[in-house]
Amino acid sequence: MSYTPAFQDIAHLAHAEIYTPKIEESAAFFKNILGLHESGRTENSVYLRAWGDYAVHTLQLTSAKTSGMGHMAWRTRSAAVLENMVAYLQANGVAGEWREPEFGQGRAFRFATPDNHPMEIFYDIEKFKSVGDQIPGYKNLPQRFSPHGIAPKRLDHINLLAQDVTACREFFNKMLGLRVTEQIIFDGGAEMGGWLAATIKSYDIAFTKDRSSAHARFHHLTYAMDSREDVLRAADILTENGTFIETGPHKHTIGQTFFLYFYEPGGNRFEIGSGGYLIFDPDWKPVVWNEQERKKGQAWGLQTVSTFHTYGTPPVEE
């Protein structure tokens, strides 16, 4: 087979399934405070989307004993690419299995990252169709803007903890065609973080070093807003509603994104973000940050809060 995964063969991060021990509290939070929209429910899951997401869901909340990520899913740019990519994965020793169509998506191939995070690739997707007073006058948007709660615009990216960042970064680069945009490499050569993009965005997924001994932990999922003012407004909404803000709003040096991290009622970390840069140069070389540079903290000097380096879901048992 002559197929090799190329940049942009993965079209975009499609959705993530997040476990929560408090499904009703989590769902109420995402609907009332965050302002996401519920698209449907199954026995154990609630499906949600932002007003600007074109798919029927970008977040699947699933009732579970603990927090953490059930799986994440990526959409390929075509049905043919999906078949080719699965064949390529299998030819390169990546075990996996096809799964039947589920809520919002057609058949999908499920496999695992080198750190064992469950993930899927698929092509067939159910698109959101607005009805009634959701129908936008701005026909180039999937839904009328809904000014309720934080109201982020769309799913943006995911961040996962991993024991071997290099292995995960190489896996996404070589097996799925993502572009490596930035890296943290400490003195001695340990890769502490790797950022990759399926698109011309500065990143769609990041892997950072898990400082515990756990595998397959989830760091955060991010919804994007159009302006930094929106993120500052979100901070007030979260604060006034008693949601714990772990850190931010502040700016990441890496990716140039404006961030705000908080924990949803089920214990998972989420981010409201804005900005970043677009990479037009097809020859982009990864920007590598060393240990000394990272000690400077975030963009404007804020030292990274320690839990940001240690807290992941599910929590590590002690």
Residues 168-187 within binding reach of its own copies (CB under 8 A): 181-182
Check residue 148 for interaction with its own copies (CB under 8 A). yes
Check residue 301 for interaction with its own copies (CB under 8 A). yes
Check if the beta carbon of residue 257 is closer than 8 Å to that of residue 197.
no
The footprint of its own copies on residues 194-253 (CB under 8 A) is 199-202, 226-230, 232-233, 235-240, 242, 244-245, 247-251, 253
Task: Identify which of residues 219 and 251 has a Cβ nearer to its own copies in the complex.
Answer: 251
Task: Work out the end-to-end distance of the chain between its first and last CA atoms, rounded to an integer number of angstroms.
Answer: 47
Stretch that binds its own copies, among 38-46, 86-94, 112-120, 144-152 (CB under 8 A): 144-152
Check if the beta carbon of residue 240 is closer than 8 Å to that of residue 195.
no
Residue showing tokens 């909404």 = 237
Residue 104 in tokens: 């919002």
Task: Identify which of residues 91 and 302 has a Cβ nearer to its own copies in the complex.
Answer: 302
The footprint of its own copies on residues 50-79 (CB under 8 A) is 52, 54, 75-78
Check residue 83 for interaction with its own copies (CB under 8 A). no
The footprint of its own copies on residues 111-130 (CB under 8 A) is 127
Q: How far is the CB of 51 from its own copies (least distance, A)?
A: 11
Check residue 265 for interaction with its own copies (CB under 8 A). no
Per-residue H/E/C for 20-83: ECCHHHHHHHHHHHCCCEEEEECCCEEEEECCCCCECCCEEEEECCCCEEEEEEEEECCHHHHH
Q: How far is the CB of 178 from its own copies (least distance, A)?
A: 14
Cα–Cα distance for residue pair 299/208, rounded to 1 Å: 18
